[in-house]
Amino acid sequence: MPNDFSTELLDARPSNDDLEKVAFDALETYTVAASKGELSTAASALRVRLAALNQRTEREAEREKRDELLASADPCEPETWSPELANFIRRYTDNILLRLDQTRKLHVKDEVIQ
């Protein structure tokens, strides 16, 4: 059985469904390889499964942290925002303002050209 598993797939930020499929497929490969005595392939498949499960667990922890940040913040009262949330909102609004400015500059250039 060729060893075609790679954790490079996990660097592309796959969907949760993709992670679930990778973990399931790796478990099947591990089971087959272990039963045939192909320890190298079995170990590789197990490594991929553990990496997929670890990434899913990390995502769940990130999601819980975001939910906690949002639950404790009142959108109308910035003093209730955590420093992380305030920083995110600042960067987000700065980016919106930058895009607005770029759009206005494009419209001015279009008017000058016409």
Dist CA 58 CA 76 (whole Å)? 30
pLDDT of residue 111: 65
Torsion of CA 24, 29, 31, 36, to 10 degrees: 170
> Counting every residue, how long is the chain?
114
- What pLDDT, in 10s, does the model give residues 30-59? 999 999 999 999 999 999 999 999 999 999
**Which residues of the chain have a pLDDT value below 70?**
1-12, 108-114
Determine the pLDDT at residue 78: 87
- Whole-number pLDDT of residue 70: 79
Q: Where are the domains of the chain?
A: 1-71, 75-114
- Angle separating helix axes 16-35 and 39-71, nearest 10 degrees: 160
d(C-alpha 65, C-alpha 103), whole Å:
35
Looking at residue 2, what is its pLDDT? Answer: 46
> Which residues, 6 or more positions from 27, have their beta carbon under 8 angstroms from its beta carbon?
45, 49
